[in-house]
C-alpha cells in the first residue's frame, strides 16, 4: 500500500513539473523585417511563476509560409517540397528543447538555458557559449552588449565560410550557422586567430573592430574555463611567444576647432530635420558633451531652476561609487528644452516614452543617433567641414575647446564623468606637445 502511494505521489509530482511549462515553435510578429518576414523562435512558457521567453533559430519566414508548414504537416506532396528540410529543422529544434526540459528535476529558465543554449552535441562548442552570453545580456537589459556579441560570432562565421557564394542571404545564414555549430574552442589557436585577423583586414575591417571582437572572444574563453568545460591549456591568448596578443588600439579623438564650430553653428539649414539635428548636436556640446542616450533619457524630474542632474548610462553599472553629473542651463540649452520639450511630465524629449521596453528604447536611441548623424553630415558637407562628423564629435569638441580655454585635467575628468584621471590623460596628450612648443618659442621673449 505504501509503495503504491509513493508511486502515485511521484507520478503527480512529475505531472506537475510537466505542466509547469510548454514549448512550441513560434513566429515572432512583433517586428516585421524589410523583406516581409518575421523571425521564427522557440517559445517557452512557464506557468508558475508565469513567464515567457523566446530563443532565436536564425530562421525568418512570412506569415503565410509559416502557416503552410504546420497546416500541411501530413501532406505527402509537401514532404517532398522545398520546405521539407526547414520543417524538419523546426521539428527537431522543438523536440530538442522538450528533451532538454525533461531532463530537469524542476524547470527553471536558468537551468534550461544552461543545457539548451550549450547545444547537446558538445559543451566544447564556441557558439553555445556566445548564445548563452547573449541571452544573459538580453535578460539584464544590456541590448547593446548583446548586439556586439552577435556581431562578433557572425564575423567568425563569415571567416569560416569565406570565399563561398550563396544564392541569397537566408542560404548564407544557414551555412554560417552550420559552420559555427562545428567550431570548437580547441579549433581556435593563435594561428587561427592570426588568419582571422588577416581575413578581417582583407574585407576592409579596422584594427579597432578586430580588437573588439577578439577581446569579446577572450571573455567567452574565460567563461568556458570558469565553467569547467575547457582547460586553460587551450587558451590561445597571451603575451608570450606563440600566443595571440589582442591588439591595443588608440582612440582618435575627433573634434572641431573653434572656427569650425562657429561655421557649423551659423550654417543655414534647408529642412526641419537638419535644424533638429543641429539643435541636438549643439545641445550635446553645450552640456559637456552629453551622450545622446543620456539626453533622451533625461526627465523633467531631473531639472531644477537653473540646472539638471543625470547619471551617465554608459558607466553607471560599471562604477562602484555612483556619481551624479550636474549641468547648468544656459540661454541656449534652455531654449532647446523649451523648443523640443514635451508636456512637462516624463521624458523631456519625445523620442522615448514610459511604455517602451528596454529593447524598444535601445532601437529608438540607435535610430535617433543615426538620424542626427545623417543630417549633421549633410550640413557639414555643404560647409566644407569634416565629412565624418557625428554626434560623438560633440563630446570631443567640448573637451578640445575647454582645454584650449585653460580647463584643468580635474575639471575635464569631472565634466566627462571619467572613472579616473588616467582616462582623461588621453585627451590632453596632443595638447602637451603643443604647449611645449609654445613654451620653447617664448623662452627668449624677455
Q: What local confidence, expressed as pLDDT, does residue 267 receive?
A: 95
* Residue that is last in its domain, among 110, 136, 160: 110
- Residue 308 CB neighbours (<10 A): 21
Does the pLDDT value for residue 400 go beyond 50? yes
- Let me know if residue 8 belongs to a domain: no
Phi, psi of 401 (to 5 degrees): -65, -40
- Let me know if residue 3 belongs to a domain: no
Place of cell 582571422: 196
Does the pLDDT value for residue 298 go beyond 80? yes
- Let me know if residue 340 belongs to a domain: yes
301 or 399, greater pLDDT: 301
CB–CB of 396/252 below 8 Å?
no
We report the CATH number of the domain holding residue 328 as 1.10.443.10
Does the pLDDT value for residue 306 go beyond 60? yes
Q: Where is average pLDDT lowest: 59-73, 142-156, 304-318?
A: 304-318
209 or 9, greater pLDDT: 209
* Number of domain units in the chain: 3
pTM: 0.63
Q: Are residues 262 and 380 in the same domain?
A: yes
Q: Are residues 193 and 268 in the same domain?
A: no
Cα separation, 13 vs 351, in Å, equals: 49
Q: What local confidence, expressed as pLDDT, does residue 434 receive?
A: 57
Q: What local confidence, expressed as pLDDT, does residue 314 receive?
A: 59
Q: Are residues 54 and 144 in the same domain?
A: no
69 or 279, greater pLDDT: 279
**pLDDT band at 219, cuts 50/70/90?**
very high
- Let me know if residue 146 belongs to a domain: yes
Does the pLDDT value for residue 319 go beyond 50? no
- By DSSP bridging, strand 21-27 and strand 38-46 are antiparallel
Q: Are residues 277 and 396 in the same domain?
A: yes
**pLDDT band at 202, cuts 50/70/90?**
very high
**Prior bond to 42 cis, omega within 30?**
no
Q: Are residues 274 and 335 in the same domain?
A: yes
CB–CB of 325/288 below 8 Å?
yes
* Residue that is last in its domain, among 110, 135, 157: 110
Burial (CB < 10 A; 0-12, 13-18, 19+), residue 417, is: buried
Q: What local confidence, expressed as pLDDT, does residue 7 receive?
A: 45
The whole domain housing 61 covers: 18-110
- Let me know if residue 9 belongs to a domain: no
Helix-then-strand count for the chain, H and E: 19, 5
CB–CB of 310/326 below 8 Å?
no
Query: 241-294, pLDDT tens digit by residue?
Result: 899 999 887 666 688 988 999 999 999 999 999 999 999 999 999 998 899 999
Once rounded to an integer, what is the mean pLDDT over residues 386-407? 84
User: In which element (H, E) is residue 273 found?
Assistant: helix 272-286
Q: Are residues 277 and 423 in the same domain?
A: yes
34 or 330, greater pLDDT: 330
- Let me know if residue 394 belongs to a domain: yes
CB–CB of 397/284 below 8 Å?
no
Q: Are residues 265 and 236 in the same domain?
A: no
- Let me know if residue 4 belongs to a domain: no
Q: Are residues 76 and 143 in the same domain?
A: no
Give the torsion sign (CA, 135, 141, 143, 145).
negative
Q: Are residues 121 and 106 in the same domain?
A: no
Does the pLDDT value for residue 8 go beyond 50? no
* Residue that is last in its domain, among 249, 282, 299: 249
- Let me know if residue 358 belongs to a domain: yes
Does the pLDDT value for residue 197 go beyond 90? yes
Phi, psi of 285 (to 5 degrees): -60, -45
- Residue 4 CB neighbours (<10 A): 8
Q: Where is average pLDDT lowest: 1-10, 208-217, 274-283, 394-403?
A: 1-10
Grid coordinates representing 440 are: 620653447
Per the DSSP assignment, residues forming a β-bridge with 25 are 42
Q: What local confidence, expressed as pLDDT, does residue 384 receive?
A: 95
Q: Are residues 228 and 197 in the same domain?
A: yes
Q: Are residues 212 and 76 in the same domain?
A: no
What single DSSP character describes residue 82?
T
Q: Are residues 282 and 199 in the same domain?
A: no
- Residue 332 CB neighbours (<10 A): 14
Q: What local confidence, expressed as pLDDT, does residue 311 receive?
A: 84
For the chain, percent of residues with pLDDT exceeding 70: 78
- Residue 113 CB neighbours (<10 A): 19
Does the pLDDT value for residue 58 go beyond 60? yes
Does the pLDDT value for residue 6 go beyond 60? no
Q: What local confidence, expressed as pLDDT, does residue 50 receive?
A: 84
Grid coordinates representing 381 are: 558637407
Amino acid at each position: 500500500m505504501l509503495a503504491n502511494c509513493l508511486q502515485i505521489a511521484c507520478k503527480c509530482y512529475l505531472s506537475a513539473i510537466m505542466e509547469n511549462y510548454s514549448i512550441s515553435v513560434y513566429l515572432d510578429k512583433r517586428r516585421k523585417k524589410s523583406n516581409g518576414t518575421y523571425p521564427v523562435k522557440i517559445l517557452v512558457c512557464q506557468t508558475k511563476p508565469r513567464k515567457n521567453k523566446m530563443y532565436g533559430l536564425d530562421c525568418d519566414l512570412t506569415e503565410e509560409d509559416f502557416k503552410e508548414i504546420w497546416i500541411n504537416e501530413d501532406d505527402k506532396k509537401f514532404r517532398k517540397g522545398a520546405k521539407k528540410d526547414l520543417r524538419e529543422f523546426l521539428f527537431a529544434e522543438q523536440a530538442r528543447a522538450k528533451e532538454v526540459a525533461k531532463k530537469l528535476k524542476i524547470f527553471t529558465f536558468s537551468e534550461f538555458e544552461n543545457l539548451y543554449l550549450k547545444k547537446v552535441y558538445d559543451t566544447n562548442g564556441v557558439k553555445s557559449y556566445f548564445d548563452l552570453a547573449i541571452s544573459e545580456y538580453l535578460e539584464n537589459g544590456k541590448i547593446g552588449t548583446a548586439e556586439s556579441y552577435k556581431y562578433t560570432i557572425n564575423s567568425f562565421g563569415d571567416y569560416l565560410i569565406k570565399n563561398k557564394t550563396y544564392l541569397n542571404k537566408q542560404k548564407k545564414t544557414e551555412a554560417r550557422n552550420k559552420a559555427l555549430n562545428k567550431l570548437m574552442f580547441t579549433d581556435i589557436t593563435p594561428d587561427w586567430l592570426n588568419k582571422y585577423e588577416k581575413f578581417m583586414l582583407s574585407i576592409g575591417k579596422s584594427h579597432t573592430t578586430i580588437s573588439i571582437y577578439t577581446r569579446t572572444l577572450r571573455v567567452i574563453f574565460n567563461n568556458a574555463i570558469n565553467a569547467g568545460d575547457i582547460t586553460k591549456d587551450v587558451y590561445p591568448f597571451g603575451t608570450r611567444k606563440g600566443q595571440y596578443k589582442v591588439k591595443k588600439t588608440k582612440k582618435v579623438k575627433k573634434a572641431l576647432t573653434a572656427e569650425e564650430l562657429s561655421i557649423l553653428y551659423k550654417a543655414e539649414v534647408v529642412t526641419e530635420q537638419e535644424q533638429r539635428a543641429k539643435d541636438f548636436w549643439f545641445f550635446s556640446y553645450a552640456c559637456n558633451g552629453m551622450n545622446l542616450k543620456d539626453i533622451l533619457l533625461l526627465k523633467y524630474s531631473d531639472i531644477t531652476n537653473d540646472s539638471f542632474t543625470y547619471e551617465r548610462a554608459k558607466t553607471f553599472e560599471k562604477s562602484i561609487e555612483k556619481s551624479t553629473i550636474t549641468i547648468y542651463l544656459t540661454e541656449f540649452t534652455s531654449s532647446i528644452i523649451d523648443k523640443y520639450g514635451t508636456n512637462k511630465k516624463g521624458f523631456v524629449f519625445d523620442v522615448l516614452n514610459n511604455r517602451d521596453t528596454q529593447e524598444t528604447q535601445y532601437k529608438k536611441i540607435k535610430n535617433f543617433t543615426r538620424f542626427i548623424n545623417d543630417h549633421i553630415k549633410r550640413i557639414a558637407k555643404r560647409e566644407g567641414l569634416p565629412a565624418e562628423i557625428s554626434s560623438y564629435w560633440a563630446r570631443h569638441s567640448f573637451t578640445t575647446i575647454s582645454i584650449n580655454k585653460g580647463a584643468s585635467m580635474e575639471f575635464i575628468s569631472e565634466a566627462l564623468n571619467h572613472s579616473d584621471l588616467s582616462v582623461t590623460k588621453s585627451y590632453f596628450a596632443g595638447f602637451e606637445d603643443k604647449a611645449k612648443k609654445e613654451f620653447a618659442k617664448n623662452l627668449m621673449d624677455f
